[in-house]
Structure 1
Amino acid sequence: MTVVVWITEGTWPACVDAARAHAPQGAEIVLLHVSGQEVPGVAHGAFAGLLGRGHRERDPGTRVETLAAASARQLLDAAAERLGRPCAHVERTGRVEREVVAAVEGAELLVLARDGDRTRLGPHSLGLATRFVVDHAPCPVLLVWPEPAPGADTLPPPPHHHH
């Protein structure tokens, strides 16, 4: 059984704890981190526009990519340490939501965290990428709250039906 744990800045500890609690002993656990291309892409483009091509060594986009990769590795290392079980690390770069969906192909479970408005229950507790992943994941999804869930009193009132 393969369990993929989507590791993101800020919410990863809750995902790791959920994997510890719910992944059967002997399951293969894959810690997944996806770096979006947006920031390096913007930096590359701005740099090329300012100075023209041919100055690759000073391109801040490359530096941003290097920093992103180092930060991804640190997150994955911290997650592996917290997990305390053998696991694989997977780093991907691209459109985050599509990379996550592609990465869970063939997995039996995906663990991910709510990343939107976490002050109340409801659909806004999912950010856009997370909503896309939940809607498109080809496997069961374990969706966790990164901190204790808000109370049921945060539910919106039922809609009024006029007769």
Structure 2
Amino acid sequence: MNDRTTVLVWITESTWTACVDAARDRAPHDDVVILHVSDDDVAAAAHHAYAGLLGRGHTPERDPGGRLAALSGAAAADLLEAAAHRLGRPCELLDHHGDVEREVVAAAADADLLICARDGDPHRPGPHSLGRASRFVVDHATCPVLLVWPADQP
């Protein structure tokens, strides 16, 4: 019988250290999966602005949407690598793209625990301490959720 559980750690650029620290401290013997989700809407908006507002003469290499997508992918890879290093033990790294909250909920379907951070107003405990995506995840995840503060608790 396997007593190990799978802990999914959802990281974002502003809260990743608190989430990784919580996994390291509270799940020292469990399998850890670190998830980052890139919202493709930003790159798509830049592409559509370029295509719609700048007229003729569009070239793919000048499209800011493509450059933003490339930069986002590199930043996500760097963030996942930093998170794995901070965890200090073997883990699985997942880099997803799409609707952030739905990607997290889908990934959490196979987890025994989801660790994520409060990303709303840090000075107001309660509902306002959760942003839109994290509120959706807390409401829809089918596994237990551990919410951590990204800094010292207010």
Q: TM-score, normalised by structure 2?
A: 0.92
Give the aligned partner of residue 49 of structure 2: 46
Q: TM-score, normalised by structure 1?
A: 0.87
Question: 2: CA distance between counterparts of 1:134 and 1:44?
Answer: 32
Deviation (angstroms), 1:51: 3.6
Q: 1:85 to 1:45 in 2, by over 3 A?
A: same
RMSD of Structure 2 on Structure 1 (CA) = 1.3
Structure 1, unaligned runs of 5 or more: 151-163
Question: 2: CA distance between counterparts of 1:107 and 1:134?
Answer: 14
Q: 1:30 to 1:53 in 2, by over 3 A?
A: farther
Give the aligned partner of residue 105 of structure 1: 109
The amino acid of 1:35's aligned partner reads S
Residue 47 of structure 2 aligns to a residue in which SS?
A: helix
Deviation (angstroms), 1:56: 2.0
Structure 2, unaligned runs of 5 or more: none
What aligned pairs does 1:126-137 form with structure 2 within 5 A after superposition?
126-137=130-141
The amino acid of 2:91's aligned partner reads C
Residue 91 of structure 1 aligns to a residue in which SS?
A: strand
Give the aligned partner of residue 156 of structure 1: none
Q: 1:90 to 1:53 in 2, by over 3 A?
A: farther
**Computing the radius of gyration over CA atoms, which structure comes out larger, 1 or 2?**
1
Residue 14 of structure 2 aligns to a residue in which SS?
A: coil
The amino acid of 1:47's aligned partner reads Y
Give the aligned partner of residue 149 of structure 1: 153
Question: 2: CA distance between counterparts of 1:146 and 1:57?
Answer: 38
Q: 1:55 to 1:125 in 2, by over 3 A?
A: same
Deviation (angstroms), 1:97: 0.6
Percent identical among aligned pairs is 61
